[in-house]
């Protein structure tokens, strides 16, 4: 009985990973400019996303979404997805050994924004990106707080 409850609990967090990954990807694919590298990758494997009817319609309404939704939210959702995946892999058990793996991607994302601020990495610093990264990093812990097993 405990095994079934435990597996359902782990399936819940894995579902959060999948849903946030798909929503972030859908925003990116449906609303972002077709000059992004991902569209050439799709084309290279024979998928023409740019010419799809769904994308043509979604691009028309993209002007009604705020910039943070189009440009920062997908990254925050991907960070959220990554943290959920890591928590799922370690079955919501956090230790000194796996803290590095859980936090490496969010730290690299935040670090790249900071380096952009100082002109050390190409790109434009955006505080909204940093905020979305931080929310994406901490939200899984807030949502799952009572079920996470901290082993420090």
Per-residue confidence (pLDDT) for residue 119, from 0 to 100: 97
Q: Are 120 and 61 within 8 A, CB to CB?
A: no
Per-residue confidence (pLDDT) for residue 6, from 0 to 100: 52
Per-residue confidence (pLDDT) for residue 84, from 0 to 100: 97
Q: Are 129 and 113 within 8 A, CB to CB?
A: yes
Q: Tens digits of per-residue pLDDT, 27-42?
A: 999 999 888 888 899 8
SS3 for 43? Answer: helix
Q: Please tell me the distance from the alpha carbon of residue 29 to that of residue 25, in angstroms, as a whole number.
A: 6
Q: What DSSP state is assigned to residue 121?
A: S
Long-range contact set of residues 119-126: C-beta below 8 Å, sequence gap at least 24: 126/71, 126/72
pLDDT tens, residue order, the chain (152 aa): 455 555 667 889 999 999 999 999 999 999 998 888 888 998 899 988 888 899 999 989 999 999 999 999 999 999 999 999 999 999 999 999 999 999 999 999 999 999 999 999 999 999 999 999 999 999 999 999 888 998 88
Q: Tens digits of per-residue pLDDT, 96-124?
A: 999 999 999 999 999 999 999 999 999 99
The continuous run of DSSP H or E covering 78 comes out as helix 73-89
Domain ranges of the chain: 2-151
| Residue found under tokens 């079955």 | 91
Q: What angle do CA 38, 41, 46 make, to 5 degrees?
A: 130
Query: Considering the entire predicted model, what is its pTM?
Result: 0.89
Of 106, 34, 32, residue with least CA distance to 71: 32
């Amino acid at each position: 009985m405990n095994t079934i409850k435990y597996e359902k609990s782990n399936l819940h967090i894995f579902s959060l990973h999948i849903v946030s990954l798909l929503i972030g990807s859908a925003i990116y694919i449906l609303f972002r400019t077709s000059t992004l590298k991902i569209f050439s990758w799709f084309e290279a494997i024979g998928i023409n996303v740019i010419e799809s009817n769904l994308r043509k319609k979604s691009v028309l309404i993209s002007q009604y979404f705020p910039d943070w939704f189009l440009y920062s939210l997908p990254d925050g959702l991907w960070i959220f997805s990554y943290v959920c995946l890591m928590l799922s892999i370690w079955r919501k058990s956090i230790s000194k050994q796996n803290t590095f793996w859980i936090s490496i991607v969010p730290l690299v994302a935040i670090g790249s924004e900071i380096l952009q601020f100082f002109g050390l990495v190409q790109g434009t610093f955006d505080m909204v990106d940093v905020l979305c990264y931080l929310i994406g990093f901490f939200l899984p812990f807030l949502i799952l707080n009572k079920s996470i097993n901290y082993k420090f």
